[in-house]
Amino acid sequence: MKNEASNKETNRKDFNAEMSYNEAKEWIAKTTGGHGTSIYSDTDVAEVREQNAKSMEQAKTE
């Protein structure tokens, strides 16, 4: 519970901190997703594809 409160406080501090235009664009892209934001993504596409393939294989056997 303490960690959750700490995260909320950190988020509040981050929200109140000044950001450059590009930092704001990156933050919005990472927190809301959207079209044309892949340059800001930290998702490993190959890993997601692998997990999806495993999931599809599992669904076929069930």
Q: Answer whether residue 59 shows pLDDT above 60.
A: yes
- Cβ neighbour number for residue 52 with a 10 Å cutoff: 10
- Per residue in 32-57, pLDDT tens? 877 776 766 778 889 989 999 999 98
| Position with higher pLDDT, 53 vs 15 | 53
The answer to whether the pTM exceeds 0.75 is no
